[in-house]
A and B are shown apart, each in its own frame.
Chain A
C-alpha cells in the first residue's frame, strides 16, 4: 500500500539496550523526518534527511542515530536506550522543502 509506515507500533525495551524504529515511505519523497511527541512538549524534531545519505540534526538529537542508505527508508536507532526516551515517535516525509509533511501512525516506545 502506498504511504508511510512505521514499525513496530509498540515496543517495550530495557534501559541500555539498542533499539531501532523503522520508517518506510512509498512516494519517493526526498525529505524524511523523525519527531518525538511528549506531553507538555508537543512534537520535537530529532533528525531529518534531505536525500539518501544526507542527514542533519534537529532539536533533540542526543542519544539517537539515523541512516538513509535508500530513499524510502529512514531508520532511527537508540544506541543505549534510557527512560527519558520513552515517548511516541513519528516519522514524516515531504516531497519538497516547505510543503506540509505526511506523518506515519507512530511508534509508542517504553523504556523500562
Chain B
C-alpha cells in the first residue's frame, strides 16, 4: 500500500535550536497535514496544506507542500521544552483516507 517515509525518526536538540523534519512519498497527494502528539493524547492538527508549493506558518511552525506533491517539510524555529512530542505527517489522496508517516520523536534539552 501507499507509504509515507518520515525522517528523522527521532531528534534530541538543545532549547533554542531550529528543527526540520520531512515526509516523502512515491504517490502524489492533494493534501498534506502535520500533527503533534503529546504523551497519552491523540494527535492534534498543527498545519494543513492544500496546494502544491504552499508555504504556511503557525507561530514558530512553518510547513511547505512540495511542488512535486510527493513531499512536505515542517520547520520549528527556536524550539522550547513544550515542543517535545511526536510529530506526524499525513497525506490524503483518496477522500476520507489519510496516510500517516511513522512519526518523528522530538526531545528538547533545556
Chain A interface residues (CB < 8 Å from chain B):
31, 33, 35, 40-45, 48, 50, 56, 58-59, 90, 92, 97-106
Contact = CB atoms under 8 A, between A and B. Distances in A.
Given A99-B48, A100-B33, A48 B43 contact: no
Nearest to A99: B48
Nearest to A56: B96
Given A40-B102, A42-B101, A43-B88, A103 B96 contact: no
Contact of A42 (B31, B40, B41, B102): B102
Interface of B: 1, 6, 30-31, 33, 35, 40-45, 48, 50, 88, 90, 92, 95-98, 100-103
Contacts of B1: 59
Contacts of A101: 45, 98
A48 B103 contact: no
Contact of B43 (A31, A40, A43, A45): A43
A101 B96 CA distance: 10
Contact of A48 (B30, B97, B100): B97
8 interchain residue pairs of minimum CB distance? A103-B42, A100-B45, A43-B100, A97-B95, A42-B100, A42-B102, A100-B48, A103-B43
Contacts of B100: 35, 42-44
Residue among B33, B42, B103 having the largest count of chain A Cβ atoms under 10 Å: B42
A45 B97 contact: yes
